[in-house]
Amino acid sequence: MSDSATVTATDETGWEKVLPFFEDELQALILDKTISDLMVNGTRGVYADRGGVVEHIPLTNTYSVERLEAAIQRVARMIGQDLTQQNPILNTRMPDGSRVAVVGSPSSIGGPTLTIRKFNQWFTTDQLIEKGSLPAAVRDKIVSLLLAKKNGIIAGGTGSGKTTLMKAILDHVPLTDRLIVIEQVAELQVKQPNAVRWEVVDPIPGQSRVSPSALLAAALRHRPDRIIFGEIRDECANDLLQAMNTGHGGTLTTLHAKSAWDALSRLSNLALSARPNINHSFIRSETADAIDFVLYCERDSTGRRRVREFIGVNGYDFPTQTFLTEDYYRAETNPAAAH
């Protein structure tokens, strides 16, 4: 492993407090900057995502469930939590921004499942263009929409590059804009000096929940030029639609979906869960009024993350119950065609 691929424990703020609890080989993998996702499946195997390709990592020495559990408990206690039989799920982040997810006993068979998503490097749009992830014409169109304070969605599956693309796009937002950034788990690093980052708080003993909806309502009282909403996944979609439809332009959010068009439908369905007595077509029309464009990202068969679809939203047709959209860009089906 090269020197450029690893760092010492003291370079990683927060990790130095928990690394000694892991076996030496796991410590090295945690600090390996070529790995974006590290997955420890109890004692059944270790896997890593390097460059979009997941590979099995054979270890020289075996490690015990007890030591792995001890390390995970140390991580949990750093943030004032405990992983117990009654509370076997943990989702948090380390001070360096790495996202840590755990499912422990009794739910996880064969030892705790530990997944660490690391943000070793953020890319500019120029770098994404050079890597073949983002066409230059698409970048230029997005920037023009951002400067016009249009609202957008970045959609895709897990690991498709949504957060990376959002960070690169946000670099084009004027430095004078005031941003309120709301995330389930804080990941984004924005360069605008007048930006504040808020994080959803899960309920634990002695600590009340701070929901996405509560943070969104608070954001409206803090004079945002733009609201940046990490991953939208529940009925707070309705609150976001209301904010966008009452004059808060320039809003950007991410969403799990299987296509650009599906992202509009999914956002509508999430909003409808907060207002089940409202006509479905009305909610969909509100979605069309709020959203101006949708980007859809994918990780193709070669492991490369790229923008697959880019559409504009022009309204909603009540007779046919369909979104009125236009294609700004649609990638070739064959990934090799882009090279």
- Tens of pLDDT along 33-55? 889 899 999 988 999 998 778 89
Sign of CA dihedral 279, 280, 281, 282: positive
**Burial of residue 113 (number of CB atoms within 10 Å: 0-12, 13-18, 19+):** buried
Taking alpha carbons only, the member of 249, 212, 217, 259 closest to residue 233 is 212
Distance (Å, rounded) from C-alpha 35 to C-alpha 44? 19
At 294-316, the pLDDT tens digits run 999 998 877 788 999 999 999 99
User: Cα–Cα distance between 72 and 243 in angstroms, integer?
Assistant: 39
43-52, 198-207, 317-326, range with the lowest pLDDT = 198-207
- Euclidean distance between CA atoms 12 and 21, whole angstroms: 15
Q: Could you tell me if 220 and 240 are in contact, meaning their C-beta atoms sit under 8 angstroms apart?
A: no
- Return the H-helix or E-strand segment holding 181: strand 179-183
Query: What share of the chain has pLDDT > 90, as a percent?
Result: 56
How far is the first Cα of the chain from the last one, in angstroms, to the nearest whole number?
30
The CATH number of the domain covering residues in 125-330: 3.40.50.300
- 77-81, 88-92, 240-244 — which is least confidently predicted? 77-81
> For the chain, what is the radius of gyration of the CA atoms?
21
Q: Given this model, what pLDDT does residue 337 score?
A: 43
CA separation for the pair 311, 88 (Å, rounded)? 41
Q: Give pTM, 2 decimals.
A: 0.81
Query: Tens of pLDDT along 249-258?
Result: 999 999 999 9
Domain ranges of the chain: 15-117, 125-330
Please give the class, per CATH, of domain 15-117.
alpha beta
